[in-house]
Amino acid sequence: MESKIYQMYGIDTAMHLLRPGARWEITNNFFSVWEDPRPCPTMEEVHETMEKIKAFEDSINTVWTQEQREKLLGQQQEYDLAVNG
């Protein structure tokens, strides 16, 4: 079985769902910037939302072509290299 490729799972999507349009930054698992009149979500809320997103994606039987898989995995490797060096 091929590994799942997640398209929506992540902090950005969770934050968009929790506080659409808010300006924020997270550093070391802590909100270092919060510019929004609504209350800042807790990191627990963010992680719970991420798990719901992942469960939703897991519930869908996405079928990729080999070309799509290679392109997506290549993009992920480029991102990982840029972030992690």
Domain assignments of the chain as residue spans, ordered by start: 11-84
Better-scored residue on pLDDT, 76 or 21: 21
The per-residue pLDDT for range 4-24, each reduced to its tens digit, is 889 999 999 999 999 999 999
d(CA 23, CA 59): 30
- Confidence (pLDDT) at 67: 92
Residue 1 has pLDDT above 80, yes or no: no
- Mean predicted confidence (pLDDT) in 68-80: 81
Buried residues in 60-75 as b, exposed as e (16+ CB within 10 A): eeeeeeeeeeeeeeee
- Mean predicted confidence (pLDDT) in 33-61: 97
pTM of the model: 0.80
